[in-house]
Structure 1
């Protein structure tokens, strides 16, 4: 099968898998939020913000290095596996030993065993890095999607009875570790590859160089996306952190379901199109159109119906997070459409540019978040959203010029989705609030959904550029469906 059909089929399989994964994750949020109180979620988030380093450190950027390489030998892959494992073991041991210090930092004694258990995530994730990279190189997206679905399902099945027994935060720990374990087992079985002994005569210096830049950018991203939880945990109550953490999870769900998994399809595809600039740009344009309209209208819906959506999904006791979710949605749109910048840096091997630009923009975000945490969680959400907008502007202008790509390639596709989504969010918010006051609960979401569909239909009919964009998106999705059925 040629590259275009494989990419299209990979995209459709990935998106379909993410729909199922989204359903399971949404069920997890809905069920566990009704069993476990906000304060318990806050305690887990304190440790989860630190344990999130496992995905960054354990990978060390070597998965992308292996995926991007034109050719990788068995000995190189073996050496990369052992390097990942050593880094993961070091991270696991460090977090286990520092568990009492983490508890002292937050002033929460219960964190010691939680941190010690969560230290296992470093090992579980690092063991699977090269096996999952191999599956990505082979474009076996169906297996990868199935593994993630199974991980979420088994993790939820394990967490619910533990939560019902009153274990609270430990149910969340069990859910996370179980999901990582399932991902590891499926990767080992799917790749059908067992590493041998390290080959000291085989150099992986080029992979480490590429990976170090990738990891540097990931560490900068980690700092800016987790400093909010750490700062809130240090300056506010566990309940406040629990509310903020749940709102952040709701806000990030669309990003996790679409943009992040599509990276697995985009990176090998773009890497193979480097010598064909026109096809390279055409792929970027189509991908960003899909992202921009999906995230624009998706976040507009979440923003406009948040007053009804939060109690509906999480149940009572979470209303203080409604405004937080709405503010985060603003930044979410720009984070989503900015994924194409990330794909460009990865495919062209210029993660050094992303690293240095990221240090500049995200340092500002970190300072703003720390200052905002002394005021309220709503101010923290505002600082996070502003940082995401700043990051997109810098990457889309200066970053694209530095890699030799015209900024207009990634900027122009964001214009009309933005013009449509902003009034849609305001309109839905007004309708939802009005109906919530005058009618029964639940109806605002239904009416707002219908209003959004009508609004989009009118825009498509009346605005020529939106009609062209809609045709391009439909053509892309149609090709993906046809390739999947073949």
Structure 2
């Protein structure tokens, strides 16, 4: 990777990480304040609607964000046409959700939900209008502008929600928060991008992008369905109490992990797309990205594996102690899925939408089979199966990709082995401290020190020192103006 592009990628990662940290802080602030002003019923109404909105959002984007970013060349006319496609889909989904409000009201038996659905329906239009503006910012590597837009929109939406809740708006405060967020994201993206679309034209074909986008839609729907398998099985077989334990553990581990990991795609995809024809640079970026993600996220997850009990006690309370082994399984799964995450970037950056869909079918079947077997051994059996599935799928993902596109297979396997070796040592050291029976807070503190000592010992080996040097150089690039 050229120095200028490497610096751009690093700075992009820096701003993306800062924005995500700010958004997580704002989300936590919203939970603390709004949960004291609103009732569980208010949140329940919004949660039901957002499930439907979440499905619609997959179709609203239609994979055209990724299609736009990964395209080796994108004319102004093609960008205009993509804008109108996303806008048109947004209009159709807005109308569809509006008229679905009556069936949703009938199914849920909640009279208030009718108005909530109808007022949230325009989210599809707002997001549809913003899609290509945001994609254009990513394509042009304007990550600082994206970060500022996201954080500002989130802060304005939270302020509006809190103000409305203080005025007694009840669940309408949450509706207003969502609408302000969508509006602010649209306005901010337009201002930052300084681009206004022209009328659509048949002279600029986007057929290949629509085909790519459809494969992404199918893949995302499959992923969405696959992500619900464990929840459905636990709810049906073990009841709401077990589902509550499982859900809390998931929210503690996998949700924050996703919030940190997923936005990095916005940095990686445009950079990989630019160097996709230069194999040495492409391979170096992929291998380096895997190490950066693996170490940065793997070490905290390894500590969580060893310190699950005291962490659950401190974060959730002693009454949630049964969630500890589930948290441990999620932390292991998080490490394994992180190692395979760069493969997802390769599929997108090289336009391998159809191949990604086929691979996702395989991984979904692997997960379904593991969880079906694991459910025979109770709730913890499902959690163990959740961790086993990526242990099977991760090495398969590298081999699968190598069959259809050039990949630095040896470097990826070797890098992952080093990450897992270090993470295993950290987890064992932390678990040893946990087993001493120290108070929860003390156990966490001493466990972190023990894990740090393992990292220090492994730095005796040159290969780990080389990895550390690469990570330090990457951090310097992020901090260099």
Range moving further from structure 2, 292-301 or 107-116: 107-116
Query: 1:303 matched to which residue of 2?
Result: 305
State the SS of the aligned residue for 1:21. helix
Query: 1:264 matched to which residue of 2?
Result: 266
Query: 1:143 matched to which residue of 2?
Result: 145
Range moving further from structure 2, 238-247 or 145-154: 238-247
Q: Equivalent of 1:292, from 276, 291, 294?
A: 294
Q: CA separation in 2, counterparts of 1:27 and 1:416? A: 37
Superposition deviation, residue 301 in structure 1? 2.4
Query: 1:474 matched to which residue of 2?
Result: 472
Query: 2:130 matched to which residue of 1?
Result: 128
The verdict on how the C-alpha distance between 1:381 and 1:453 changes in structure 2, with shifts beyond 3 A counting, is same
Query: 1:455 matched to which residue of 2?
Result: 454
Q: CA separation in 2, counterparts of 1:169 and 1:309? A: 32
State the SS of the aligned residue for 1:188. helix
Superposition deviation, residue 409 in structure 1? 3.2
State the SS of the aligned residue for 2:459. helix
Superposition deviation, residue 328 in structure 1? 1.5
Q: CA separation in 1, counterparts of 2:324 and 2:40? A: 14
Q: Equivalent of 2:25, from 23, 26, 31?
A: 23
Range moving further from structure 2, 27-36 or 410-419: 27-36
State the SS of the aligned residue for 2:364. helix
Query: 1:9 matched to which residue of 2?
Result: 11
Q: CA separation in 2, counterparts of 1:416 and 1:38? A: 45
Note the residue ranges of structure 1 that are not aligned, 5 or more in a row.
Answer: none
Superposition deviation, residue 66 in structure 1? 1.0
The verdict on how the C-alpha distance between 1:5 and 1:424 changes in structure 2, with shifts beyond 3 A counting, is closer
The verdict on how the C-alpha distance between 1:186 and 1:156 changes in structure 2, with shifts beyond 3 A counting, is same
Query: 1:347 matched to which residue of 2?
Result: 349
Deviations 1:342-382 (A, max 9, x none): 11111222122111011122134246557877986545444
Superposition deviation, residue 177 in structure 1? 4.6
Note the residue ranges of structure 2 that are not aligned, 5 or more in a row.
Answer: none
Q: CA separation in 2, counterparts of 1:227 and 1:119? A: 27
Q: CA separation in 2, counterparts of 1:249 and 1:285? A: 29
The verdict on how the C-alpha distance between 1:283 and 1:371 changes in structure 2, with shifts beyond 3 A counting, is same
Q: How many pairs were matched up?
A: 479
Contact 2:273–2:349 (CA under 8 A) maintained in structure 1: yes
Superposition deviation, residue 140 in structure 1? 0.6
Superposition deviation, residue 291 in structure 1? 0.7
Contact 1:331–1:388 (CA under 8 A) maintained in structure 2: yes
Superposition deviation, residue 290 in structure 1? 0.6
Contact 1:327–1:381 (CA under 8 A) maintained in structure 2: yes
Range moving further from structure 2, 284-293 or 153-162: 153-162
Superposition deviation, residue 231 in structure 1? 5.6
Q: CA separation in 2, counterparts of 1:402 and 1:373? A: 35
Query: 1:215 matched to which residue of 2?
Result: 217
Q: CA separation in 2, counterparts of 1:17 and 1:196? A: 31
Superposed, which structure 2 residues align to 1:388-427 within 5 Å? 388-427=390-429
Contact 2:370–2:388 (CA under 8 A) maintained in structure 1: no
Superposition deviation, residue 386 in structure 1? 3.3
TM-score (norm 1): 0.85
Contact 2:70–2:270 (CA under 8 A) maintained in structure 1: yes
Deviations 1:326-348 (A, max 9, x none): 22221111222222101111122
Q: CA separation in 2, counterparts of 1:108 and 1:239? A: 23
Superposition deviation, residue 425 in structure 1? 2.4
Contact 2:287–2:408 (CA under 8 A) maintained in structure 1: no
Q: CA separation in 2, counterparts of 1:399 and 1:2? A: 28
Contact 1:306–1:325 (CA under 8 A) maintained in structure 2: yes
Contact 2:69–2:273 (CA under 8 A) maintained in structure 1: no
